[in-house]
Amino acid sequence: MASLHPVARHGRLKTPSPWGLVGRFVALAAAVLTVSGAAFAGYATWSVSSEVRTVDLAGETGDGSLAAASVPEIAAIDGGVNLLLVGSDSREGQGDAYGETEGNLNDVTMLMHIAEDHSSATVVSFPRDMVVPIPSCPDPDGGSFDAMSAQPINVTLSYGGLPCTVLTVEALTGLHIPFAAEIQFNGVIEMSNAVGGVPVCVVDPIDDAFTGVKLDSGTHTLQGADALGFLRTRHGVGDGSDLGRISSQQVFLSSLVRTIKSSDTLGDFGKLYGLARAASGNMVLSKSLASPDTLVSIALALKDIDLDRVTFVAYPGTTGGEGVYAGKVQPLTDDAAVLFDAIAADRPVVTAQPGNTGIGAVADPSAPAATAPTDAAATPDPSVTDPAGTDPSAADAAPTDPSAGAAASAATALPQSITGQTAAEYTCSKGND
């Protein structure tokens, strides 16, 4: 098959478009249906359903049900969840405020896993230029596209749409992903407005001519176009790479989770309904995710997870490669296997050490004492498994009470190459100086 045109065009794009808001916004968009009165919930269900745009994933039937798994009844979802969150750089229908570009690249790809017993959640970000195999994908116009041995992961959306991105991540991780969502620029703006802004700490000034983001050191409450610009900036944070941008986005994500779990946000019906409308009007959802009942079920699974059990990590990789792939991210598959084996086994994960946040973020020097990293926290936790397998007893570790599930399970310590943080950690974005 001919080479992909979007790959050639990619080098001319000034402002790639990452997204970090999707998972929490999907949950909050559904939450309005569970926390409000019956009449309000009924209206919200009709209103949200009437605006949802959907797409069939591979294995889904056309009526919105899954061939391999049933859609849960309205209640906390029964079992775990794997949900893929994709951010598109398409300007179609977005006006001319974001410049011009061709194609439709998934410049952010994030996988959210909720543990079977709803005691923890892990969100994995995939670098947009990471070179991976792409399996055969269904052609939206009929037939299928050929598999490719090596392409940047962000071409999958233009290649075969959201179903192709899902198939690629499934092949890369070994996980089944029944739920997926795609969002564009305007969706991020509307959702950040609906939540009332997100406090973001900046430890070094950010000045990015490509996105127009200019932030002094200190804490800024970002919403609307400011939130979008912060999430898009790559040249302004870390070392100017997408790896640095991911860790900077996690600063925003962890603060977002703390914001939406606050009593003010969860008790504000106006904000919750605004998120529901923003999500439905600016997203494309898999048929499996489009049902209000399913959204409610996932929201119920998320709402009671402790902040220190919500973990954001980046798929491990290193820049390198040869020829056309020179400088692009090469996946560290052996290290990644530790992460995805833990997810498949429904174990929570912890980074190798506190403060292993990546090159675009640092610990907040003004963090509340109860949540700031300490030297004592760096002492290995005996409940954490040995990722290298050198402790033969680690593989047999299990909760004494089977009903305790993942909450009592030993966490898996991730290799040093896998950076990230929990929602309980206060961090700051680091400007690129």
Residue 388: which residues within 8 A CB-CB, separation 6 or more? none
DSSP 15: -
- Specify the 3-state DSSP secondary structure of 371: coil
Q: Does domain 5-197+239-346 have CATH number 3.40.50.2300?
A: no
Query: In percent, how much of the chain has pLDDT > 70?
Result: 64
| Domain boundaries, given as residue ranges, for the chain | 5-197+239-346
How does pLDDT run across 89-123, given as a tens digit for each residue? 654 554 444 445 555 778 889 999 999 999 999 99
Query: In percent, how much of the chain has pLDDT > 90?
Result: 38
Structure-block tokens of residue 210: 């490509």
Average pLDDT over residues 51-65: 67
Q: Is the dihedral of CA 235, 252, 385, 334 positive or negative?
A: negative
Give residue 374's pLDDT.
Answer: 40
- Specify the 3-state DSSP secondary structure of 94: coil
Of the ranges 76-90, 195-209, 392-406, which is most confident? Answer: 195-209
DSSP class per residue in 128-150: TTBEEEE--EE-TTSSEEPPEEE
Of the ranges 269-278, 369-378, 386-395, 422-431, which is most confident? Answer: 422-431
206 falls in which pLDDT band (50, 70, 90)?
Answer: very high
According to DSSP, the β-strands at 121-126 and 310-314 are: parallel
CB 320 within 8 A of CB 330: yes
Tokens 């030297």 — which residue? 375
How does pLDDT run across 253-305, given as a tens digit for each residue? 999 999 888 766 655 656 666 666 666 677 788 888 776 667 667 777 777 89
CB 175 within 8 A of CB 183: no
CB 415 within 8 A of CB 389: no
End-to-end distance of the chain based on CA atoms, in angstroms?
A: 43
CB 18 within 8 A of CB 238: no
Residue 347, pLDDT > 60, answer yes
